[in-house]
Amino acid sequence: MTEGHHITVEQGTERVRVVHGGRVLAESSRPLVLRETGCPVRYYIPEDDVRMELLTDSDTHSYCPFKGTASYWSLPGAPDLVWAYPDPKTEVAEIKGHLCFYDTEVVE
């Protein structure tokens, strides 16, 4: 990490849920909590807890110098709603196999 920029990844104890258009897209009691300087707290949900059959691969990719290259998934009318780092940088390796959504609610 560069000086002044920090990322921490911790095993969360909260139960989180992602709902879009009235449908539950993900629900997990084992999210990873990622805190990054200058960014909101993000919950990374294990892929097994995400309804992948509802999502469509996107051609979008973005690069973060701290996490690596992200891949995205979409819903009809909601492009690039979900992202993941298939090959994350070593410092955040634990987020591999987890997906992140813009709007995740903590339900417990």
**CATH match of 7-106 with 1.20.140.10:** no
Provide the pLDDT for residue 108.
65
Query: Is this model's pTM higher than 0.75 or not?
Result: yes
Domain boundaries, the chain: 7-106
The answer, yes or no, to whether residue 65 has pLDDT greater than 80, is yes
How far apart are the C-alpha atoms of 21 and 25, rounded to whole Å? 10
Burial (Cβ within 10 Å: 0-12, 13-18, ≥19) of residue 24: exposed
Task: Kindly tell me if the per-residue pLDDT of 104 is higher than 90.
Answer: no
